[in-house]
Amino acid sequence: MRGRMNDVKSYVPPFALDAPMEGGAIGEVVESRADGLKAGDKVLHMAGWRDEAVLPASAVTVLPNLGVDPQAFLGNLGLTGGTAYFGLLDVAQAKEGDIVFVSAAGGAVGSAVVQIAKAKRMTVIGSARGAEKCDFVRSLGADAAIDYTAGPIAKSLAAAAPTGIDVYFDNVGGDHLDAALAVARRDARFAICGMIDAYNGGQPSALRYIMRVISARIRIQGFIFTDFMARMPEFYAEMAPWIASGQVKSRDTIVEGLERMPEAFLGLFEGANTGKMLVKL
Amino acid sequence: MRGRMNDVKSYVPPFALDAPMEGGAIGEVVESRADGLKAGDKVLHMAGWRDEAVLPASAVTVLPNLGVDPQAFLGNLGLTGGTAYFGLLDVAQAKEGDIVFVSAAGGAVGSAVVQIAKAKRMTVIGSARGAEKCDFVRSLGADAAIDYTAGPIAKSLAAAAPTGIDVYFDNVGGDHLDAALAVARRDARFAICGMIDAYNGGQPSALRYIMRVISARIRIQGFIFTDFMARMPEFYAEMAPWIASGQVKSRDTIVEGLERMPEAFLGLFEGANTGKMLVKL
């Protein structure tokens, strides 16, 4: 969403001025003349920051009955969980026994990565901002949590991963990416999902260890969740039972009221959220 | 070889002080008691910077009879040609119709990349230092050659590739890598082979466009030629006929005399070579 506030060519068009912000939301059908869609149905849609919307039936998806809270479809069973799942298992080809480093591990995507990696018997190191979030990351099952405000991430990561890492799930970019390059093992895979460091700063990333892609044969791969939309059934089949059984948990940050949307949004860039940042109308 | 002069952990151990420099060489057998190896045989070995060596038979490879000049085994049919071949076709998965950008296209690896890409009906843009080398790059069949001393590479590359690039074969790193990130098309593949910019400078690479790995789903993959040693027959089978027929040419830079080795080596970092830098004893 932050990317779409820049007037540049990207994988989706920029937001238009004076138009409602688009974004994933769960709504309740109030009125419908469409087949298979009746008042009271809970639906997923992209109409975003608004109280009400009139939408064609093709623009909404009735939530499948997977035995989980509807809210999960905005989090661990939605875009963020799917990003974690396909990024970790498909893009980064992480497998049992791998040592995985994930940045912003207290965030929505990161906390899902930690839990999926543990469900798949990997060793997981997460970075987060501050001691409290690090506690949360450990509570999700991470083998180690790094408070990146406590010192240079390169030093902390080298200490937490003395034998190196096989996989890096990047939500941050910048010095986190550089630290991961420095400790990557032979044939390491990096899934690049977000670079929140770069969204607002505009500072070029200084990568002192980029040359290690050669000696360690590192593969760096960018990806977008929507590339994997056709594979949602596979994701639901594995993730929904984990959520239903409590093996994968969420601790969403919920802000109440449409008028607090901007506050909630800006908070994402200051680490104000633990887990998914949600706004309840 | 430059990398092995740094006392750091890498994919091969650093050079030892006061020991002969190792490196690929072609020699003639003077005396042998080994089966299948007789005086007069031309062999490939790694004993490097010296007039003579006593080696076990297992440390030399008799040049296969492929109808090409022995010198080719140090260039287009050796490490440099193999690096170009596997880097372009395997690591970067370049295919007919792709738009390929290769940096240091007047160098040993780069000039092989240009010619292999043209043999496979790709569009090729090469960068090189100075007008004369750019003429050479064009003479190899490149569709465009960029003199990177004439202006910012990002601007020149954007002009030479107005619709973007599918593949980047990186011999340089730094601003060349950043320029390639800026113009990469969806699902572009980068094969990272060398970063000569970084070998001596030690400056961190400032990558302003690294975030494009996400929106364009770029894959960046480092590699080393030796990973592909088991596949030499496949390489010989395609490359030797190209060399024999003149479709793939070389214009080696030959320096005469063992005592001029250091001069030849240092020249590599100043662009003193066109094609492979060879020293004749």
- Encode pLDDT of A13-38 as tens digits: 888 888 888 888 999 999 999 998 99
Question: Which candidate from B198, B208, B227 shows the least CB-CB separation from A211?
Answer: B198
Q: Does B204 touch chain A (CB under 8 A)?
A: yes
Q: What residue in B sits closest to A206 (Cα-Cα)?
A: B206
Q: Do A207 and B211 touch (CB under 8 A)?
A: no
Q: How many CA atoms lie less than 13 Å away from B64 in the CB half-sphere? A: 9
Segment B33-90, tens digit of pLDDT: 999 899 999 999 988 888 899 999 999 999 999 999 998 999 999 999 999 999 999 9
Contacts of B214 in chain A (CB under 8 A): 192-195, 222-224
Contacts of B227 in chain A (CB under 8 A): 217
Contacts of B208 in chain A (CB under 8 A): 204-205
Q: Do B222 and A216 touch (CB under 8 A)?
A: yes
Q: Does B110 touch chain A (CB under 8 A)?
A: no
Question: Which candidate from A177, A194, A213 shows the least CB-CB separation from B222?
Answer: A213
In the predicted model, is pLDDT for residue B130 greater than 90? yes
In the predicted model, is pLDDT for residue A86 greater than 70? yes
In the predicted model, is pLDDT for residue B2 greater than 90? no
Contacts of A217 in chain B (CB under 8 A): 221-224, 227
Q: Do A217 and B207 touch (CB under 8 A)?
A: no
The pLDDT > 70 percentage for chain A reads 96
Q: What is the mean pLDDT of residues A67-81?
A: 91
Contact A228, A75 (CB under 8 A): no
Q: Where are the alpha helices (DSSP H) in B75-221?
A: 79-86, 108-119, 131-139, 153-160, 174-183, 196-201, 212-215
pLDDT value at residue A240: 96
In the predicted model, is pLDDT for residue A199 greater than 70? no
Contact B261, B49 (CB under 8 A): yes
Interface test with A, best of B178, B214, B223 (most A CBs within 10 A): B214
Q: What is the mean pLDDT of residues B186-212?
A: 81
pLDDT value at residue B276: 80
